[in-house]
Amino acid sequence: MNNLKHISTIVLAGAILSGCSTSSKRYDIDDDIAPEKPISVEHIEDAVPQYEPYSLGGNSDYTLRGQRYEIIKEPQGFTEKGQASWYGKKFHGHLTSNGEIYDMYSMTAAHKTLPIPSYVKVTNTDNGKSTIVRVNDRGPFHPGRIIDLSYAAATKLDVIRTGTANVEIEVIQTTKPVEEHKQKAFPKFVIQVASSQHEDRVRTLSQDLGQKLSVASFVGVGSDKKIHRVFLGPFDDYLLTQKALEQVKVLGYSSAFIKSQ
């Protein structure tokens, strides 16, 4: 990743804290790397744009390395061209700028000045591939780079192989729905945890996870009637779904992912 030096900043009590400092006390490894045994991310869907209020943390103007950054107050129609980089294992499991947990297998990204959270369409102009990510972090603070992609997003855009890529980003504007139409405006989400041909094991896992996480769980069967899948949900709120996904991965199910219904 060309010795990527990504810095994540968290605004807490009016102070800007460096989220990706070089201190070995904060991170287990010094240089950022991809996972040792990369999983396929082809099944991971794009982030689903929906209205979310801006976070209390991570949305104040800040100064870093002597440069002043002002958060964009009106991002409608915002586009930008430049280079994309990515960040992975070093920051996996650590806090992002708005206090969420960075998950390198989720479709997220870091940007210096877009409000958090924002939904952005990213197009790799080197190969024409595009995807949608949810901005929940600050960075990258490297000349010429405009966005730092999660490992999953970078894989989808084929940025992992090259380390960086020329991209164009475009903000996807979301509006607050009228309250009585809220349920119709938002899709529902489920988390697929695991799959197996052994129905008894899948049902046991479904019950155990439902009890441990205090969420609804169920078993789905594929069209071939042979593969049984464990699902959690459905959830109405994408942010709550992400938090549940983080809990699932803490329990050891690193390949779990979110699906929209």
pLDDT per position as a tens digit, 226-260: 889 999 999 888 778 888 988 998 999 988 888 87
Classify residue 230: in a domain, yes or no. Answer: yes
CA distance 49 to 44: 15
Could you tell me the residue range of the domain that residue 198 belongs to? 180-260
Please tell me whether residues 165 and 205 are part of one structural domain: no
Question: What tokens were used for 227?
Answer: 């593969």
Quote the CA–CA distance of 121 and 109 in Å, as a whole number.
Answer: 11
Distance of CA 73 to the CA centre of its chain: 22
211: phi then psi, degrees, rounded to nearest 5: -75, -45
Report yes or no on 228 lying in a domain.
yes
Tell me the average pLDDT across 206-221. Answer: 91
- pTM for the complete prediction? 0.60
Give the pLDDT band of residue 145 (cuts 50, 70, 90).
very high
User: What CATH number has the domain bearing residue 40?
Assistant: 2.40.40.10
- Position of tokens 């991570």? 58
| Confidence grade of residue 128 (pLDDT, cut at 50, 70, 90) | very high
CB neighbour burial string for 52-67, b if at least 16 within 10 angstroms, e if fewer:
beebebbbeebeeeee
User: How many distinct structural domains can be found in the chain?
Assistant: 2
Q: How far is CA 35 from CA 67, 88, 102, in A?
A: 33, 7, 14
Residue 141 lies in a domain: yes
- CATH number for the domain spanning 243: value is 3.30.70.1070
Mean pLDDT for 100-109 is: 89
184 lies in the same domain as 167: no
- How far apart, in whole angstroms, are the C-alpha atoms of residue 130 and residue 133? 10
**So what's the pLDDT on residue 31?**
53
How sure is the predictor about 108, in pLDDT bands with cuts at 50, 70 and 90?
A: very high
Based on the domain organization, do 162 and 189 belong to the same domain? Answer: no
Question: Is residue 74 domain-resident?
Answer: yes
pLDDT of residue 122: 98
